[in-house]
Amino acid sequence: MLKHDYCNQVIDYHEIIECIVSALDAKDQYTAGHSQRVSDMALKVCRMLGLKKKEIEKIHIAAHLHDIGKIGVPDAVLNKETKLDNKEWEAMKNHPQIGADILNKSRHLNELKDIVLYHHERFDGKGYPLGLKGEKIPIGARIIAICDSIDAITSDRSYRKAYDFDYCFNEIEKNIGTMYDPVIGKYVLQHWTEVINATGKNEKGTEWMGQLPTFIPNSY
């Protein structure tokens, strides 16, 4: 009976995910709140694009977990206060694959692995880990990529202060079609205020409301 009851329990995915993300936040002082903000923006973008409910939920959860692979990156690399050298950079670039491998071990979360694996791919094919191009990149990964950059640009890092949202707007605009999907990118810019409001920050970036600041550069 106990075994039967256990097997038929409804898994609270969000509670599990919060625990996983909290573990990552504890490891990397600069990611605190980052995954939450990215997932909130991704949810907003998905709804604005009119995606189906199941796809929205999938992308929303994947956004929470997009950086889970950083659990496997050395602390000295994650928390380094200066620019990464080539060896450290290669270690950092492993995090999408590590994250995908972690999710692949779960029969409940393995459908998210490709979104996590490809969230650092670029629309022009110059991203990593595989150099996928255009619509070969899953739409969830394309959405997370732009949301990830928005939070990165407008958040502090040990070696530089956050940029404001005007600067961020210009950076996103000039990289549409290269780093970012042109359709998603233009849609985000057209609904800029709605998207950035999902971060909980004000117009000055990390003069934020309610969460610790973080900065994950585009190249991370």
Of 3, 52, 58, 70, the active-site residue reads 70
Residues 103 and 99: their CA atoms lie apart, in Å, by 6
Q: Are 30 and 79 in contact (CB under 8 A)?
A: yes
Beta strands in the chain (DSSP E): 201-202, 205-208
Q: Is 70 a catalytic residue?
A: yes
String of DSSP letters for 5-56: HHHTPPP-HHHHHHHHHHHHHHH-TT-TTHHHHHHHHHHHHHHHHT--HHHH
The span from the first CA to the last CA of the chain, in angstroms, equals 48
Q: How many CA atoms lie within 13 A of 214 on its CB side?
A: 30
Helix (H, G, I), strand (E, B) or coil at 157: strand
**Which residues are known to be catalytic?**
70
